[in-house]
Amino acid sequence: KVLRKGSSKTVDDLIKSATRGRATKGRTSQYNLSGGFGKALKDFESLQPNIIKNTPDLKVGKLPDGRTVIVRKKSTDGRPTIEIQDGKKKIKFRY
């Protein structure tokens, strides 16, 4: 696997650098990271998705492994969030 210059990351890299968020009842795991929307965007870019949708507050992309990744400025709990969707399973990173 070739790492591009600087800051290519995987979802697992993000999980390693995050703290466990609150447990959910469903199929979602949550993690906490700091840095706000700017950092969320940077991490989103570092996953190197193919961008499908691109607005100032929301970006949607496909990861090389086929999963969908979304970064949004505001989530239900108010924090910027990266969401990885794998079928019905979701991983959320709150910033």
**What mean pLDDT, rounded, does the chain reach?**
91
Backbone φ and ψ for 62, nearest 5 degrees, come out as -110, 130
pTM of the model: 0.88
Q: How confident is the model at residue 37 (pLDDT cuts 50, 70, 90)?
A: very high
Does 4 reside within a domain?
A: no
Tokens, residue 8: 């290519």
Is the pLDDT reported for residue 25 higher than 50? yes
pLDDT value of residue 75: 84
- Rounded to 5°, the CA angle 34-62-28 comes to 55
How many structural domains does the chain have?
1
Does 26 reside within a domain?
A: yes
Does 83 reside within a domain?
A: yes
Domain enclosing residue 50, as ranges: 11-94
pLDDT value of residue 6: 54
As a whole number of angstroms, the distance between CA 26 and CA 48 comes to: 28
Q: How confident is the model at residue 16 (pLDDT cuts 50, 70, 90)?
A: very high
Does 41 reside within a domain?
A: yes
Q: What is the mean pLDDT of residues 23-48?
A: 95
Buried b (16+ CB within 10 A) or exposed e, 79-91: bbbbbbbeeeebb
Does 25 reside within a domain?
A: yes
Does 70 reside within a domain?
A: yes
